[in-house]
Amino acid sequence: MEIINGGVCAAEGFVANGVHCGIRKNKTKRDLSLIFSEVPANAASVYTTNLVKGAPLTVTKQHLADGKAQAIICNSGNANTCNADGIEIAEGMCELVAEAMDIKAEDVVVASTGVIGQPLSLDPIMAGMEELTEGLGKHSDLAAEGIMTTDTRMKEIAVSFEIDGVTCKIGGIAKGSGMIHPNMATMLVFITTDTAISSEMLQKALSSDIQSTFNMVSVDGDTSTNDMVTILANGMAGNKEIAAEGEAFDIFMKALNTVTVYLCRCIAGDGEGATKLLECNVSGAGDLTTAKTVAKSVICSSLLKAAMFGADANWGRVLCAIGYSGADVDVHKVDVSFKSAKGEITVCINGAGVEFSEELAKEILLEKEIEIQVGLNSGDASATAWGCDLTYDYVKINGDYRT
Amino acid sequence: MEIINGGVCAAEGFVANGVHCGIRKNKTKRDLSLIFSEVPANAASVYTTNLVKGAPLTVTKQHLADGKAQAIICNSGNANTCNADGIEIAEGMCELVAEAMDIKAEDVVVASTGVIGQPLSLDPIMAGMEELTEGLGKHSDLAAEGIMTTDTRMKEIAVSFEIDGVTCKIGGIAKGSGMIHPNMATMLVFITTDTAISSEMLQKALSSDIQSTFNMVSVDGDTSTNDMVTILANGMAGNKEIAAEGEAFDIFMKALNTVTVYLCRCIAGDGEGATKLLECNVSGAGDLTTAKTVAKSVICSSLLKAAMFGADANWGRVLCAIGYSGADVDVHKVDVSFKSAKGEITVCINGAGVEFSEELAKEILLEKEIEIQVGLNSGDASATAWGCDLTYDYVKINGDYRT
């Protein structure tokens, strides 16, 4: 497996574009993206578990009932959620794409991200459709920019891999930043692959993968109303279609996981206001659920997040978060260490503090990527969760996001 | 029922004091408090559900096994948690009080609050004991100050009420601020009453009351390792002992609830870095659990808390928090309004936005106490939860709390 350029356009037959159509007032920020496959693709998707669901998710669910899609349209700047005419607008977006690309509206996936509860007009989308579709090409970067909200960096990746001697590619783009606490579903992520794989196996791969990737990310504990990951597989790589579990499926899963883990780290590290990526690695758990519960509880702790912002080795907050996680843990067996490019320092053994160099701890925690290593010493299961620090800028961004 | 002065010393026979003994370096901040009843009292207590428990809680639990106590000792500046010698130190604190006051160590309740995982020495406590016990008097304020950590204000209240023509009093002090998300238990709160009431009924009253008071408070989602509410009832009011449910018990419950709701509002409004008290009132729920789950989810949302700091009527975040709360709610029936001393404004009806004056909304949200009114329109149950806004100062306080 090899990391390659091209993001969501790396796979054969996929093109994309992103333009400014006017949903946002800021003309320098693209606000409408389109991803298109030259041929119909198998599709799979997972959605937020929030009971308040964006209208685009409802429409997409209907359109993906047959496991097929050919295009993904997504705007930023408005979530099209909690609007009386939301469904109509989301359907309208699909129809505009269908007309422009000469495909069926039912083969279009639609997504929106931005402020909740403000009416979304079709006018700017209609006005921007010509520029959007005429400019389609290997422009993953423009599409990645068009779906950004408070993100500060584009998030894209692609890898190539071989199945039975055939080169396949898979790539994705993501937006993250705030309202990030995926639960059984996840954020806005679009993945494309030219691997031939049945809709059933594609859904199985995606639903399985997100349990240890996007569902293990949290920026602020708020599960969004518009979370969605969609994957399109157009089969243009020419491999024998993956229609069951086996070696080929395993290879595909591994490639998919490389893409999703990378995007998870991008989303967490570019959380609203974040200055640091936090990764909590839990090992020695009695079972996987315990490991995941503990890891996620640690990276969700506001107190620990603020301590990490201050590069303060306040490990008591790690213990505290383990203790209230709800997982069945023997707290007298817990070891904790902090690790970064500057080294690793053990701060707690068997649930009690040990003497350590505050200077070295500070040096380690001043890095941009911090690993919090938790050993439970009660079994073989392990899990990883990703988050970010809590900063002044998180408060600033969210104190006046809407106005 | 009447609100009176005196806090934890309002009830007959209770004295208190708070001194600086040297656990904290800052000599202007009291760090050791004692509450004492002239006669043995019935006692009840509830504790944190965090699996990581402060050593003082373990010792207190043993001491209260017989439902009796006569004194409460509490230090701030060090939580005496995750320390290898924690139990020994907590027992030592009780013995120092027992010796000085000529009572049994088993009749002393002990509590500690502050940093987790730093050894606590008995030396300063031993050194301060003489000043602490000799200065005992009607000094609820000094005791309330001695248990403060990052609190900016003392939290005390007392009320008087009548049972069968006999005047009884109940009062309490609390500390709050950070690591506040009580769950089945609560923060450090000490309540005293001269009401005659059996240990069993006292525990029943407390355990019942906290479900709708302290357990409905959150500052930052972090359930502390040292949460504890203890109530002492010394019977000196002279009423006939309350030994079963009935009118007298109901009157006592109402007085207790007045004390606890007041302290809840104090704790939430003085949350770390807070500039505003948030109160979420949920009505029209199908059942009590739904109402409580929704109310707590709303006041726990980091995004809503930041929006309230910015006085931004971003009601979509209220809907979002209701949607991911886990409660079974028909989101298309939800109404939301914001209310304060400046008026009330409806922002969402039947799950969709309505036009409203941004100017009036801003004026309402610039107040210090904000009510978020949520109508579920699906039943008769209601609940209230208290929280605070998320501010730059929360990040500042917790970025360098320990060092």
Residues B282-314 pLDDT 10s: 999 999 999 999 999 999 998 899 999 999 999
Q: d(Cα B295, Cα A76) in Å, to the nearest integer?
A: 30
Do A395 and B392 meet the contact criterion of CB atoms below 8 Å apart?
Answer: yes
Phi, psi angles (nearest 5°) of residue A334: -80, 130
Of the listed B60, B81, B113, B186, which one is catalytic? Answer: B186
Q: Which residues in chain A touch residue B358, judged by CB atoms under 8 angstroms apart?
A: 403
Extract the tokens encoding A390: 């809590």
Which of B49, B52, B332 has the highest number of chain A CBs within 10 A, making it the mutation to test binding with A?
B52
pLDDT score at A281? 96
Number of domains making up chain A: 2
Half-sphere CA count of B63, side-chain side, radius 13 A = 32
Last residue of a domain, which of B236, B269, B302?
B269
CATH number at residue B281: 3.10.20.340
Q: Which residue has the tokens 């408090």?
A: B33
Confidence of residue B182 (pLDDT cuts 50, 70, 90): low
Query: Smallest Cα–Cα separation from B39: which of B233, B238, B239?
Result: B233
Higher local confidence (pLDDT), A238 or B178: A238
Residues B156, B66: one domain?
Answer: yes
Query: Smallest Cα–Cα separation from B142: which of B32, B285, B13?
Result: B32
Extract the tokens encoding A314: 């306040």
Q: What is the largest CA-CA distance in chain B?
A: 68
- Stated as kind and residue range, the H or E segment containing A38 is strand A32-47
**Residues 6+ away with beta carbon under 8 Å from A97:** A34, A71, A73, A103, A105, A108, A129, A133
Phi, psi angles (nearest 5°) of residue B66: -90, 5
Closest residue, chain B, to A353 (C-alpha)? B117
Of A300, A310, A399, the CB nearest to B400: A310
User: If you average pLDDT over residues B343-359, what whole number do you get?
Assistant: 94
Phi, psi angles (nearest 5°) of residue A234: -95, 0
Burial zone of A123 (CB within 10 Å; 0-12 exposed, 13-18 middle, 19+ buried): exposed
pLDDT score at B396? 87
Phi, psi angles (nearest 5°) of residue B185: -155, -150
Contact B302/A84, CB-based, under 8 Å?
no
Half-sphere CA count of B191, side-chain side, radius 13 A = 36
What is the nearest CA distance from B210 to chain A, expressed in angstroms? 18
pLDDT score at B402? 58
Q: Tell me the Cα Rg of chain A.
A: 21
Q: d(Cα B302, Cα B300) in Å, to the nearest integer?
A: 6
B260 is an active site residue:
no
Phi, psi angles (nearest 5°) of residue B7: 50, -130
Share of chain B above pLDDT 90, in %: 58
Extract the tokens encoding A53: 């669901």
Of B79, B312, B320, the CB nearest to A224: B320
Q: Is the pLDDT of residue B179 over 80?
A: no
**Quick check: helix, strand or coil at residue A27?**
coil
Residues B38, B79: one domain?
Answer: yes
Report CA-CA distances (Å) from A355 to A361, A365, B157: 11, 17, 42
Residues B190, B282: one domain?
Answer: no
Report CA-CA distances (Å) from A244 to A123, A192, A194, A210: 45, 20, 17, 19
- Stated as kind and residue range, the H or E segment containing A303 is helix A302-309
Residues B367, B235: one domain?
Answer: no
User: What confidence tens digit (pLDDT) does each residue in A70-109 have?
Assistant: 999 999 999 998 888 999 999 999 999 999 999 999 999 9
In residues, how long is chain B?
Answer: 403
**Quick check: helix, strand or coil at residue A119?**
coil
Residues B146, B178: one domain?
Answer: yes
Left (φ > 0), alpha (ψ -120 to 50) or beta: where does A189 sit? beta
pLDDT score at B185? 52
Residues A26, A137: one domain?
Answer: yes
Residue type at position B145: E
Contact A116/B319, CB-based, under 8 Å?
yes
Q: d(Cα A29, Cα A273) in Å, to the nearest integer?
A: 19
Task: Tally C-beta pairs within 8 A across A and B.
Answer: 210
Half-sphere CA count of B185, side-chain side, radius 13 A = 22
DSSP A315: T
Q: Is the pLDDT of residue B401 over 70?
A: no
Last residue of a domain, which of B269, B294, B324?
B269
Burial zone of A130 (CB within 10 Å; 0-12 exposed, 13-18 middle, 19+ buried): exposed
Of A352, A390, A400, the CB nearest to B83: A352
Query: Smallest Cα–Cα separation from A116: which of B307, B326, B340, B333?
Result: B307
Higher local confidence (pLDDT), B244 or B32: B32
Residues A206, A346: one domain?
Answer: no
User: What confidence tens digit (pLDDT) does each residue in B200-215 have?
Assistant: 888 888 888 877 777 7
Residues B211, B74: one domain?
Answer: yes
Q: Is the pLDDT of residue B73 over 60?
A: yes
Q: Which residues in chain A touch residue B224, judged by CB atoms under 8 angstroms apart?
A: 320
CA A235-A241-A246 angle, 5° bins: 130
Which of B183, B317, B320 has the highest number of chain A CBs within 10 A, making it the mutation to test binding with A?
B320
C-alpha torsion B74→B78→B83→B87, nearest 10: -10
Last residue of a domain, which of A269, A293, A328?
A269
**Quick check: helix, strand or coil at residue B94?**
helix
Extract the tokens encoding B153: 């204000």
**Quick check: helix, strand or coil at residue B3?**
strand
pLDDT score at A307? 93
What is the nearest CA distance from A220 to chain B, expressed in angstroms? 6
pLDDT score at A402? 58
Residues A167, A43: one domain?
Answer: yes
Contact B117/A319, CB-based, under 8 Å?
yes
What is the nearest CA distance from A98 to chain B, expressed in angstroms? 29
Do B316 and A117 meet the contact criterion of CB atoms below 8 Å apart?
Answer: yes
Residues B327, B178: one domain?
Answer: no
What is the nearest CA distance from A331 to chain B, expressed in angstroms? 6
Contact A392/B394, CB-based, under 8 Å?
no
DSSP A180: -
For A390, the domain range is: 277-399
Confidence of residue B187 (pLDDT cuts 50, 70, 90): low
Residue B278: alpha-carbon gap to chain centroid:
15
Of the listed A60, A113, A133, A186, which one is catalytic? Answer: A186
User: What confidence tens digit (pLDDT) does each residue in B8-31 have?
Assistant: 999 999 999 999 999 998 888 999
CA-based end-to-end distance of chain B: 46
pLDDT score at A187? 64
Q: d(Cα B317, Cα B323) in Å, to the nearest integer?
A: 10
What is the nearest CA distance from B400 to chain A, expressed in angstroms? 6
SS3 content of chain A, % helix, strand, coil (to 5): 35, 30, 35
Closest residue, chain B, to A391 (C-alpha)? B395
Q: Is the pLDDT of residue B316 over 80?
A: yes
Residues A261, A337: one domain?
Answer: no
Q: d(Cα A141, Cα B123) in Å, to the nearest integer?
A: 64
Extract the tokens encoding B157: 């209240």
| DSSP-assigned letters across all residues of B189-237 | EEEEE---B-HHHHHHHHHHHGGGTGGGB-SSS---SS-EEEEEE--TT
Which of B303, B356, B360 has the highest number of chain A CBs within 10 A, making it the mutation to test binding with A?
B303
Residues B227, B259: one domain?
Answer: yes
Report CA-CA distances (Å) from A124 to A22, A59, A110, A150, A357: 5, 20, 16, 21, 58
Contact A307/B401, CB-based, under 8 Å?
yes
Do B274 and B388 meet the contact criterion of CB atoms below 8 Å apart?
Answer: yes
Closest residue, chain A, to B52 (C-alpha)? A323
Q: Which residue has the tokens 């009749």?
A: B107
CATH number at residue A36: 3.60.70.12
**Residues 6+ away with beta carbon under 8 Å from B398:** A302, A303, A306, A307, A310, A390, B178, B272
Query: Smallest Cα–Cα separation from B122: which of B159, B90, B154?
Result: B90
pLDDT score at A64? 93
Half-sphere CA count of B238, side-chain side, radius 13 A = 4
Q: Which residues of chain A have pLDDT under 50?
A: none
Contact B319/A117, CB-based, under 8 Å?
yes
Q: d(Cα A171, Cα B266) in Å, to the nearest integer?
A: 52
